Amino acid sequence: MAPELKNIDLHMHSNVSDGTDSPKELLALVKEKKISLFSLTDHDALNGAMEIQNHLDQFPEPLLFLRGVELSCQDARGKYHILGYQYDRKGGPLHQMVQKAHDIRLEKVTARLDFLKREFGFSFREEDVRALFQNHNPGKPHIAKMMVTYGYAESVSDAMKRFLNKKKFPNVALPPEKAIGSIIDSGGTAILAHPAYGDGDQLILGEDMDQRIRYLMDFGLQGMECYYSSFTPRIIEEMLDLAGKYQLFVTAGSDYHGSNKLVCLGDTNLPAPQDRAPGFHAFLKAVQVI
């Protein structure tokens, strides 16, 4: 492994989705943190990654960048976040899937605002609602911030837990097979994000995790994000064992969201180059980094 690939972070978000840094600001921070290989994986959006690509030439020392995306999926078995890497810039299937996901997001924002008004009497000024919908990809964090501003919640976390998470959407989401298929059909590589955490509120281990991986592999899943900012050594070991068992690629990501989360850019729990799993080196070869 070349020494310039010591610092790697393949999972981060900009303000194109639910992060706080613009793509250009994120690029400067990547440079400051000396991260030599990175990916912008905005939720259900590609334009931030495309913007990053357009700014790379401004740096005299080359930065290695992978085009990325994180698709939010759900079916009868649960929720999944699927990361896609190095898809074709003009990959039609993925662009179509992202547009569908964006439309679903807008539907959910409208439904959540209606829910807050109906169940809790929370209302917002028309100009603030317009500004909400003018975000690239509005979602729960944007509504939660607005609730804090209005005094309806003490914090973003409070808004989520006490109010927003009570609105359920059992039948409005991308199915995982469509998401994975669109990434692969667009020349990309499909990876399960933070696998042990499921939808963020779960801890999935053991046979349940094994079944989940085999289920997604039937749709073409190619890898797992085994190195992750908040994974314990035990979780990392179990995820790596599964990836090795099924010969899946391995990736590493912080899930950085700027000030929206207490996660530092580059904090991936990725070990030194000589200690990384074979599946991680295999992934870098597959995306033509090494």
Q: CA-based angle 163:46:173, to the nearest 5?
A: 40
The arithmetic mean of pLDDT across residues 144-152, rounded, is 97
- H-type alpha helices, 164-277: 176-185, 206-217, 233-245
The arithmetic mean of pLDDT across residues 116-125, rounded, is 97
Per-residue pLDDT tens for 206-218? 999 999 999 999 9
3-class SS of residue 287 = coil
Contacts of 198 (CB under 8 A, 6+ apart): 78, 79, 80, 204
Cα of 64 vs its chain's centroid, Å: 19
- The residue with greater pLDDT, 222 or 141, is 222
Per-residue pLDDT tens for 28-64? 999 999 998 999 999 999 999 999 988 887 776 678 9
Give the C-alpha separation, 282 to 285, whole Å: 5
Residue type, 77: R
Would you mind telling me the total number of residues written for the chain in this entry? 290
Nearest CA among 52, 257, 219 for reference residue 142: 257
- H-type alpha helices, 121-155: 126-133, 140-150
Give the C-alpha separation, 95 to 199, whole Å: 23
Q: Average model confidence (pLDDT) for the chain? A: 92
Contacts of 41 (CB under 8 A, 6+ apart): 10, 11, 12, 13, 49, 68, 69, 70, 83, 193, 253
β-pairing, 64-75 vs 78-85, is: antiparallel
* 4-23 b/e (C-beta count within 10 Å ≥ 16 → b): eeebbbbbbbbbbbbbbbeb
* 225-262 b/e (C-beta count within 10 Å ≥ 16 → b): bbbbbebeeebbebbbebbeeeebbbbbbbbbbbebbe
Query: What confidence category does residue 82 fall into, taking pLDDT thresholds of 50, 70 and 90?
Result: very high
All structural domains of the chain: 3-93+175-286 (3.20.20.140), 99-166 (1.10.150)
Give the C-alpha separation, 39 to 85, whole Å: 8
